[in-house]
Structure 1
Amino acid sequence: MQLEPMIEGRLIRRYKRFLADVVLLDGREVTAHCPNTGKMTGCAEPGERVWLSVSDNPKRKYPHGWVLAELAGEHLACVHSAFANTLVEEAVAAGRIEALSGYETLRREVRYGEEKSRIDLLLSDPARADCYVEVKSVTLLMEAGVGMFPDAVSDRGRRHLRELQRAVEEGHRAVLLFCVQHSGIHSVCGAEHVDPAYCQALAEAIAGGVEVLAYGCEITLDHINLLYPLPFMVPT
């Protein structure tokens, strides 16, 4: 995925979930939209280098949007969690995710399930069962390259796991795909210290036939691409 040209600054603070104050290289201070609903632990430290998109849409209250952060002067993370679906869609279309290859059609945001969810990607092919793919963005780095999900208690995430389990029970294929948008993360596991109920639901979903994949991204100031599989550590 190609990124639009961005401007660099230093983070002053993130607040009210969706706002971030940034001082640009020319000394101006701007308020940027933060497109991330999570806690962003480790990705929103005051003083870190950040990169913002700039919109010329006059209807936008905040023309700047926070896209990337440099963490500890070493790693890049994409804080725009909504990019994850596009990254996975592009990777599937390019054949970079072997486990999801060979399907005839791909649709996004398809309503399904008893709890009226929307599946991120629905892969279909006349020769086999439909494949429901739920995508989660991972940026929480804990230690030794281990990334964890979720970074906040997630009732919505548990609902998605229940829906995926029911899809399997109905004869479909269901996949939970962790899209890692942090260059320092080299494996993924559930964040039991953050949301033990989610990790329990994840273990039950896996036991019920839900597949789990984790993939890492190449992140630069010009593009982000989902490229390589990462180990996933199954919760016990």
Structure 2
Amino acid sequence: MKFSAPLVSGRLVKRYKRFLADVILDEDGTAITAHCANPGSMLGLKEPGSRVWLSLSDNPKRKLKYSWEVMEADGALVGINTAHPNKLVEEALQDGRIPELAGFASLKREVKYGKNSRVDILLESTDGAKTYVEVKNVHLMRQPGFAEFPDSVTARGAKHLAELADMVGEGHRAVMVFLVQRPDCATLGLAGDIDPAYAAAFAAAREAGVEAYAIGCDVRLDGIDAVQPVEIVA
């Protein structure tokens, strides 16, 4: 995934109200408020003074022209925009970078399923077999090289796991893909201390036959790509 225009650099002042971030731009010292498309806690990724990069929109209808895309943390570039993971996983699937999910004939996004939900990606084979794929963004790293999910309580995430398990019960294939938007993690586990209910739901889903895979990202200032497998140790 390529960014449509060069990113603008700055320093984080604070992230607040979940979707807002105050930033001092490097170019001229201007203080701006950027949109932060990330509903999680961003644990470890909101330290004042952190170097950040923003995209700039030319849409005249947007109230906030800047969007927070990338930051520097733990010596690496980290993608923080949770609007991107579905697209990144779709590109990885199309390019065969998740071999466990290769060989599909069609790919659809945001298809209704379960109890009034939409699955992130629906894969279908030539014989009509369906694979339901949910995507979760990951960027929490509390130990070097070890990614964790979630970074805050997510009842919605637990609901998705139950619905994937229901799809397996109906005879379909169901998969959870964790998209790690940073390049410095080789393994991934569940943050059960942050959300024990999600950890329990994940264990139940795996027992029911839901598959789980993780893929890490090459994060650059011109784009982000999901490229390397990450081992799940949960």
Q: Shorter chain as normaliser: what TM range? A: over 0.9
Are residues 1:42 and 2:44 paired? yes
Q: Alpha carbon RMSD of aligned pairs, Å? A: 0.9
Offset at residue 186 of structure 1 (A): 1.8
Question: What one-letter code is carried by the residue in structure 2 that aligns with 1:51?
Answer: W
How many residues of Structure 1 are paired with residues of Structure 2 in the alignment?
Answer: 232
SS in 1 for 2:86: helix
Question: Runs of 5+ in structure 2 lacking a partner?
Answer: none
- The answer to whether the 8 A contact 1:129-1:171 is kept is no
Aligned to 1:188: 188
Preserved CA contact (<8 Å) 1:71 1:77:
yes
Determine which of 54, 57, 60 is the counterpart of 2:59.
57
TM-score (normalised: structure 1): 0.96
- Residue 155 of structure 1 corresponds to 155
Residue type of the alignment partner of 2:17: K
List structure 1 segments (4+ residues) > 4 angstroms apart after TM superposition: none
Q: Give the equivalent residue in structure 2 for 1:66.
A: 68
Matches within 5 A, 1:193-208: 193-208=193-208
Secondary structure, aligned partner of 1:230: strand
1:227 equivalent to 2:227? Answer: yes
- 2:61 alignment partner, SS class: coil
Structure 2 match to 1:90? 91
Question: Secondary structure, in 3 states, of the residue corresponding to 2:202?
Answer: helix
Structure 1: segments with no counterpart, 5+ residues: none
Structure 1 stretch displaced more, 121-130 or 96-105:
121-130
The question of 1:77 aligning with 2:39 is answered no
Between the aligned residues of both structures, percent identity stands at 49
Separation (CA, whole Å) in 1 of partners of 2:101 and 2:128: 12
Instruction: Map 1:62-141 onto structure 2 (within 5 A).
Output: 62-72=64-74, 74-113=75-114, 115-127=115-127, 129-141=129-141
